[in-house]
Amino acid sequence: MRSKMIGLTCLAVILILGLTACDLDEAYVQHKATEAEEAPSAGPPVAKFSPIAPRIEVGGLMIFETTGTTTPNRWIESAAWDFGDGTAEKGKWSQTMTVMHRYTAPRSYVVTLTVTDNKGETDTIQHPLLVWEGTDPANKGGGADGGVGKTVEAWVVVRLAVEARLVAPSTAKFHGGGWSPHVAYLGGSRYRVHGSVDSQNGFGAMIRTTFQAVVRDEHTARKTWTIEELRASP
């Protein structure tokens, strides 16, 4: 009897309000839609980048590595670089993008990256960079290893050679916190470089490749390096 009374009461409410089951379903759908509209959207994009070293010798090749925020509804679409020396570059964004630039004059620079997401909002970040001429200012004694500058160059030379062997170099993500832990001076202008990198194979899966190389600085005006040995294995 109690269950019948509850059922009659509910039926009476529906009849009084003039609602049907379809009306109730539609009201629920509209409520959920309103909740979705009122839910806060993801914030504007946040870009990050860093040079592989805080300073480099004139004519040396600097690499900048990027990261950025991505959500299901918002993502970074494009990147604009200002290298601080009067040159700029624009292009598509990649979460693991690497950008290379060569500086030809010794002084301090401020490198600026501005990213734009799919809703047109932007984010800007800057990093200082020192380009010097001659002896590395952090190696005033002019040690035989050439200081930070030569170490960075050795890392860049090997990194570019490794990327050239990858199936999808644009997906490459090198490990280990930059160049410093991976380069050792062997003497005689020779450096040993080792590390690992994740990248996509031909099927789109991420695989890890380890590498080891020995490179030699030829001390020429063109900053030529010779790769004496390069081994890489997945």
3-state secondary structure of 38: helix
Domain boundary residue among 72, 101, 134? 134
Burial class (CB in 10 A: 0-12, 13-18, 19+), 61: middle
Amino acid letter, 28: Y
Query: What pTM value is reported for the model?
Result: 0.56
Q: Would 139 be classed as within a structural domain? A: no
Same domain, 150 and 197: yes
From first to last of its 234 residues, what are the pLDDT tens digits of the chain?
A: 544 444 444 434 333 344 444 443 444 344 334 444 444 456 778 888 888 777 788 887 788 888 777 777 888 889 999 999 999 999 888 766 778 888 988 888 999 999 999 999 999 999 888 888 765 444 443 444 556 677 878 888 898 899 889 998 878 888 865 666 788 989 888 999 999 999 999 999 999 999 999 999 887 655 688 999 999 998
Q: Would 199 be classed as within a structural domain? A: yes
Q: Would 224 be classed as within a structural domain? A: yes
* Confidence at residue 70, expressed as pLDDT on a 0 to 100 scale: 72
Question: 62 vs 36, 85, 111, 120, 206, CA distance in Å?
Answer: 45, 13, 11, 29, 26
The CATH number given to whatever domain includes residue 175 is: 3.10.450
**How far apart (Å, rounded) are the C-alpha atoms in residues 92 and 128?**
23
Q: Please give the tally of structural domains in the chain.
A: 3
Structure tokens at 144: 């035989």
Q: Would 140 be classed as within a structural domain? A: no
- The residue range of the domain holding 229 is 145-234
Q: Would 178 be classed as within a structural domain? A: yes
Same domain, 155 and 182: yes
Helix (H) or strand (E) holding 139: none
Q: Would 83 be classed as within a structural domain? A: yes
* Confidence at residue 96, expressed as pLDDT on a 0 to 100 scale: 66
